[in-house]
Amino acid sequence: MYLAQAIYGIIGLFQLLNGCTHFEASETSISGQRWYYCLTHQKARILADIQTVIEYIHHHPWEDLSLHALGNLTRLTPHYFHRIFKNIVQETLYDYIRRVRINMAARRLIFDDSSVTHIAEECGFNSLASFSRTFKQLRGISPSKYRERYRMSSRTVDSFAVERFRHRMTEPGSKDSVRGLEDVIAWARVKVQETTITHIPDVQVIYYRHQGAFLDQLNISMANLFSTLYREAARHGYVSRSSKMIALSYDDPHITAHDKCRFEVCMTIEGKLRKLPQHVESKIIPGGKYVLLSIAQIPTISSFLWELVVQEWLPHSGYYWDLGRPTMEIYVHSPKQDPYNRQVFDLYIPVRTNAIF
């Protein structure tokens, strides 16, 4: 889960690399972001170490995440590691860990039946008092009041997704307004009843990382990233007729700050990996049980359907959202190729049969 290993636009990058004896930088622009790349071996090792730490934090929020413990995961001294982490991530290690833990707790307060105390412990807080104090500092509200406000299963009339969609469609100056708003909401609620449970195997992919919500430029940004990845993959012989384009999302933009949301744009590959294109990474997307809904709508309606599945269908399905795996959108074609500017994709939300985190 996770921030970019080699795609950060950071002002302090040259200071980060002041230990390199030789530095070259190349600059490119994908989806409107400026990314800088250091082409030295030392830079690649440093970024790999930081990425290892970031992944460890997201996978083990309940463990000892002290500077010493995390520094041992790298090839850097604790002092140098702490300084470089701040330069790359643009947050201190302490602030980053605290934000990740609170964001994770916020999602669990909404979708998990566990007690507030249990959630606090599993998100790495030593006491309920410490958790409540930190949660209120970052969220402006206590954990119990947050759960009461946003808890989907406790809402008897409209889910928060419906309220938010209705507000967005009717606010003054909205570019997303639609005719027959209540009919659209009623149609969407019927549409999500097509949701099913499926099981998929592990999927091998190559991918780019992206940090920052796409917001209203989703189609353009996603299409640009897909196009760049496809072009690089084709140049290295990874494209086949069975190749699929996948977008992975790790954060809820309604919980995580937009500039902190993490995405990965992927393409499936088969067979043995050879040399990867520059700045492209590889991984295995874990298989298992997923919620499945096919969507072919403009971005605003697509997002609404996505939220309805989570907030209205899932709580009554007998399954729980598996927050340890990313949500997938497997695209039929690039958004640029659709004459109606729709997103045409299969939505896969990971689920489990129990509430154990």
- Which among 56, 90, 124 is the end of a domain? 90
Please report where in the chains the tokens 């990971």 appear, as a residue: 350
Within a domain: 191? no
pLDDT of residue 83: 93
Structural domain contains residue 357: no
pLDDT score of 322: 87
327, part of any domain = yes
Are 224 and 272 in the same domain? Answer: yes
**pTM of the predicted protein model:** 0.76
49 and 29 within one domain: yes
Domain count, the chain: 4
Q: Among 60, 90, 120, which residue terminates a domain?
A: 90
The CATH number assigned to the domain holding 306 equals 3.20.80.10
**Residues 204 and 341 both lie in one domain:** yes
Does 4 map to a domain? Answer: no
The whole domain housing 254 covers: 196-352
Predicted confidence at residue 177, as pLDDT, reads 66
**Does the CA dihedral 138-141-143-149 come out positive or negative?**
negative
How far CA 88 is from CA of 7, 38, 39, 280, in Å, comes to 10, 13, 16, 19
The confidence score (pLDDT) of residue 210 equals 82
* DSSP state at residue 295: E
- Domain assignment present for residue 8? The answer is no
**Domain identity same for 215 and 310:** yes
Tell me phi and psi for residue 251, to 5 degrees: -130, 155
> Which of 90, 105, 140 delimits the end of a domain?
90
> At 282, which helix (H) or strand (E)?
strand 281-285
Same structural domain for residues 37 and 178? no
CATH number at residue 116: 1.10.10.60
The predicted pLDDT at position 213 comes to 64
Q: Is residue 269 part of a domain?
A: yes
Q: Is residue 220 part of a domain?
A: yes
CA-atom Rg of the chain in angstroms: 21
142 and 281 in a common domain: no
If asked whether residues 132 and 215 sit together in one domain, one would say no
Q: Is 325 a member of any domain?
A: yes
CA distances from 236 to 148, 204, 264 (A): 52, 16, 20
pLDDT computed for residue 277 by the predictor:
80
**313 and 217 housed in the same domain:** yes
Q: Let me know whether 146 and 158 are in one domain.
A: no
Q: Which parts of the chain register pLDDT below 50?
A: 1-39
- Same domain as 336, residue 237: yes
Co-location of 26 and 121 in the same domain: no
Same structural domain for residues 129 and 160?
Answer: no
**pLDDT tens string 216-248:** 555 566 678 888 898 989 988 898 888 999 999
In whole angstroms, what is the distance from residue 271 CA to residue 164 CA? Answer: 44
The confidence score (pLDDT) of residue 66 equals: 93
